[in-house]
Amino acid sequence: MNKLINYFLIILSCSLMISCEEDTDVIDPDEVGIWKYYSTSNGLTNDDIRAIKQDRSGIIWVGTYGGGVCKYDHGNWSSIQERDGLLDNRIYSIAEDVNGDMWIGTAYGISIITDDGIISLETILDSYYIPLSLYSDSRGWMWIGTTTGIIIYDQSDFYPVSFVNDDFNWIWDITEDSEGQVWFSTTGGAISYNENNGLEIFTVDDGLYGNFVSCILQDSRGFIWFAHLETERITRWDGTNFEYINLLNGYNYANVWSMVEDHNRNIWFTTKNSGVTCYDGVIPKTIGIKGGLKDYDIRCSMVDVEGNLWFGSDSLGLQIYVPE
């Protein structure tokens, strides 16, 4: 009986190896875990997802491009739209400020959702703007990334920052590293800010693989990742040396929209046209339609407090990976 079982396991193992060689997009169900899906058929107001944020109370805020903001509150969906006082139903960004108020970046400015209602910032310093990105830092400052530069709110006033080169004025993403340095992703490169040195610009001349930086992430090991659009590789920096990593085997361009690190220290990259790639530091694994996704164009991502990974699709709603 033992010989028979061993023979069966050998045959099964060989079959799995052949299957993986034939299609690298097929992921072992034991590795994938469980997938959940939300769309307009079961809770969302629109299936084009641009931003995902979990607030300090555990509520998930989902920004859609056309259906306003959807809220997932421990199993129940609700929404806030123009009819409720939101400036516009097209959402670009979401952030929670130091007071627990939610800043929603819309196509017509920022709507701040408080316990007392909605505050509208259609203009800042008498100027119209598009809030592509929002970030509340460890000082309690709110950073607003626009198509014309950066706006800083220090809890007392707004301060605009713009650059002569317009490529640096498109602020796609904002994050903060462990040293309190704030990073900005721009069409022309990466920009960092700290109180001692002010603003510093990084481009291909300084070591980046590409100038179009779509997002930036510092992982738990201290590496800073710079994701690019229209390049073959992404950039990883240890503070001294740059290295370039090809994550997507079989694809010409990485086209990374967002990056998150899960509770097991894996880095997940969402892409424009090739699904999601999970990188454990050794081997990148691409997950597509056959691996559990509903769409290859994944615009945004988030890891919630329980370790679940939320992926926002360009046209097919939310796909959530629940680790086993």
**Predicted confidence (pLDDT) per residue in 63-105, tens digit:** 999 999 999 998 999 999 999 999 999 999 999 999 999 999 9
Task: Give me the pLDDT at residue 250, please.
Answer: 66
d(CA 130, CA 128): 7
Mean pLDDT of 261-289: 92
CA distances from 267 to 73, 145, 223, 283, 301 (A): 26, 24, 11, 11, 11
Whether 12 has a pLDDT exceeding 60, the answer reads: no
227, 279, 271, 278: which is closest to 251 by C-alpha? Answer: 271
pLDDT tens for 161-203 read 999 999 999 999 999 999 999 999 999 999 999 988 899 999 9
- Which H or E run contains 79? strand 76-80
Phi, then psi, of 121 in degrees rounded to 5:
-115, 75
pLDDT band at residue 323 under the 50/70/90 scheme: confident
- Sketch the domain layout of the chain as residue ranges: 47-162
pTM: 0.88
Q: Within 10 Å of residue 77's Cβ, how many Cβ atoms? A: 15
**Chain-wide mean pLDDT for the chain?**
89
Whether 14 has a pLDDT exceeding 70, the answer reads: no
d(CA 310, CA 217): 17
CA distances from 43 to 77, 78, 85, 93, 98 (A): 6, 8, 20, 20, 29
Task: Give me the pLDDT at residue 31, please.
Answer: 45
d(CA 129, CA 150): 10
Which amino acid is it at 307? G
Task: Give me the pLDDT at residue 249, please.
Answer: 65
d(CA 101, CA 117): 10
The matching CATH number, chosen from 2.130.10.10, 1.10.12.10, 3.40.50.10860, 3.40.640.10, for 47-162 is 2.130.10.10
Whether 13 has a pLDDT exceeding 60, the answer reads: no
Whether 23 has a pLDDT exceeding 50, the answer reads: no
Mean pLDDT of 225-247: 94
49, 59, 93: which is closest to 317 by C-alpha? Answer: 49
Task: Give me the pLDDT at residue 290, please.
Answer: 87
Phi, then psi, of 34 in degrees rounded to 5:
-115, 140
Q: Beta strand 256-261 with 267-271: parallel, antiparallel or unpaired? A: antiparallel
d(CA 312, CA 40): 13
CA distances from 247 to 33, 83, 143, 244 (A): 21, 43, 30, 10
Contact between 141 and 155 (Cβ < 8 Å): yes
